[in-house]
Amino acid sequence: MRDHRRRHAHRRRRQSRTQSARLLQRISGKRVHRPRHEHLRHPLPRTRPTVPHGRRRSRVRRGVQAHAQRCAAQHGGPHLRRPANRARHLGHARHRGPAPIRIAIINDRRVAYEVSGDPTGQPVLIIHGAWGGPSSTLWNGPRLRWHAPTGGLKLIWYDRRCAGLSQYDTEPFTLEDLANDAVDLLDYLGIDSTAVIATSAGGPIGLRLALDHPNRVMSLVLLNTGASLMSLTPTGVDPADPFVSDRLETVAKRLTLLDLLDSEGIESAVAASEDEWTSTPQPTEPDPVFQSFRDNRQRALSSLSPDELARLALGALLNMKAQRGVNLSADMIRITCPVLIVHGDDDTAVPIALGRALADGIPYGELSVLNEHGHGLIVNSAAQQVVTHWLQSV
């Protein structure tokens, strides 16, 4: 039956074309040449046939699968990532993957940064911790993330000098230079004023930024940090405190490395500081997220060449040197913006005594103590919730 219908349809098409040719011959008075097998051709462009919705979706799905297979053969994996600025077809929801890392050239210097959270929200500049070098650069595989809801906040992460993916120097720089780098990034992004979160070794940079550029800092959050991280005479703490005593021993070792850098040069200082970068991570950190970062860092260290390790170690030493002997305790009285100090009572890297000294020395300082929490609060969900709530309320 189906073949019978097909033959009749084919015959009708031939008759229709023959009648059309005869009509044109009558009108023009010329014989219309009809080549052999013309009935197999179509005189007009073919229109797209109507395909049922389900079948069309199957065709699209097969095309996507074929594209994935071609890319897997060429690039080693499917290449189907949606662009970050392309809206989804349902509800126009933006792509919620990790924020892209951007590179800016500011004053002939490479600066890596990324923006996450609410694009139209209040800007929040985050000054990361650690001394740069291996401590921060090797953490860029799984970059630090803000897990708490960021309603109304636009988070700006950036890598400091000699840290992360930003440019590495071979010449010394100062704490003021590091604070000015933050201002230059704000200028580059067109931001007049911002809230600032400074953690660990980034704390003195945040303090310096609030002191030297008060009109650019609306509020300041200090996480597990102090006013004098590279000084043997911190203000407002008891040297007999066991945690403080251990901290001062660590500072003394690092100051010895800096003296070696000044007296004997880079190679001797880097060789003497190898244990600083390749030591086993502390297993006593209570936060599992922070511990995972330390484990990833340790694995990445084992794959570095000696030259690469020396370059990263020099960057960390220069960051330490920028804060050598710095004590901002006497200047904190000049800070006029609201300040939140968040510290864990089990912090062994930067004892809570340094956090209490910050709260005592800053006129508008507010201290929030997290019980049974250690260092690395920037990746701690409880600390992030405290900080987010405070920033949304000031």
Residue-wise pLDDT for 26-47, tens only, equals 545 555 454 444 444 444 444 4
Confidence of residue 213 (pLDDT cuts 50, 70, 90): very high
Residue 253 lies in a domain: yes
More confident residue, 9 or 287: 9
For 262, the domain range is 102-393
Residue 125 lies in a domain: yes
What's the chain's average pLDDT?
A: 78
124: tokens are: 């929040």
Cβ pair 9, 39 in contact under 8 A: no
Cβ pair 93, 275 in contact under 8 A: no
Confidence of residue 378 (pLDDT cuts 50, 70, 90): confident
Residue 353 burial (CB count, 10 A): 19
**What total number of domains does the chain contain?**
1
Q: Is the pLDDT score of 342 beyond 80? A: yes
Confidence of residue 327 (pLDDT cuts 50, 70, 90): very high
Q: Is the pLDDT score of 97 beyond 90? A: no
Q: Is the pLDDT score of 73 beyond 50? A: no
Residue 17 lies in a domain: no
CATH number at residue 369: 3.40.50.1820
Residue 247 lies in a domain: yes
Task: Name, in order, each residue with C-beta under 8 angstroms of 20's C-beta and a sequence gap of 6 or more.
Answer: none
Query: What Å distances lie between residue 213 and 51, 151, 376, 379, CA to CA?
Result: 65, 27, 27, 27
CA 362 to chain CA centroid, Å, is 30
pLDDT given at position 288: 63
Residue 174 lies in a domain: yes
Residue 88 lies in a domain: no
Its pTM stands at: 0.71
215-226 confidence digits (pLDDT tens): 999 999 999 999
Q: Is the pLDDT score of 267 beyond 50? A: yes
Residue 147 lies in a domain: yes
Residue 73 lies in a domain: no
